[in-house]
Amino acid sequence: MSDTRRRALVTGGSSGIGACVAQTLARDGCDVGIVHVDTPERVSSVIQSVESHGARAWSRVCDVADAGQVHEAVEAFIGEFGGVDILVNNAGIFCDRVIWKMSDEDWRRVIDVDLTGAFNCSRAVAPAMRRARWGAIVNVSSINALRGKFGQTNYCAAKAGAIGFTLALARELARENVTVNAVAPGLIQTPATEGLPDEVRRRALGEILMGRIGRPEDVAETVAFLCSERARFITGEVIRVDGGQCL
Fold of 7-241: Rossmann fold (3.40.50)
Tell me what pLDDT residue 157 has: 98
**Which pLDDT band, with edges at 50, 70 and 90, does 1 fall under?**
very low
DSSP labels for the chain?
Answer: --SS--EEEEETTTSHHHHHHHHHHHHTT-EEEEEE-S-HHHHHHHHHHHHTTT--EEEEE--TT-HHHHHHHHHHHHHHHS---EEEE-------B-GGG--HHHHHHHHIIIIIHHHHHHHHHHHHHHHHT-EEEEEE--THHHH--TTBHHHHHHHHHHHHHHHHHHHHHGGGTEEEEEEEE-SB-STTTTTS-HHHHHHHHHH-TTSS-B-HHHHHHHHHHHTSGGGTT--S-EEEESTTTT-
Q: Is 155 a catalytic residue?
A: yes
pLDDT at 177 over 90: yes
- Is pLDDT at 39 greater than 90 in this prediction? no
Q: What pLDDT is attached to residue 246?
A: 92
Segments making up each domain of the chain, as ranges: 7-241
Structure confidence at residue 2 (pLDDT): 46
Point out the catalytic residue in the list 81, 119, 134, 155. 155
Mean pLDDT estimate for the chain: 95
Q: What is the pTM of this model?
A: 0.95
Residue 127's pLDDT is 98
pLDDT digits (tens, 9 = 90+) for 201-245: 888 899 999 999 999 999 999 999 999 999 999 999 999 999 999
**What pLDDT sits at residue 213?**
93
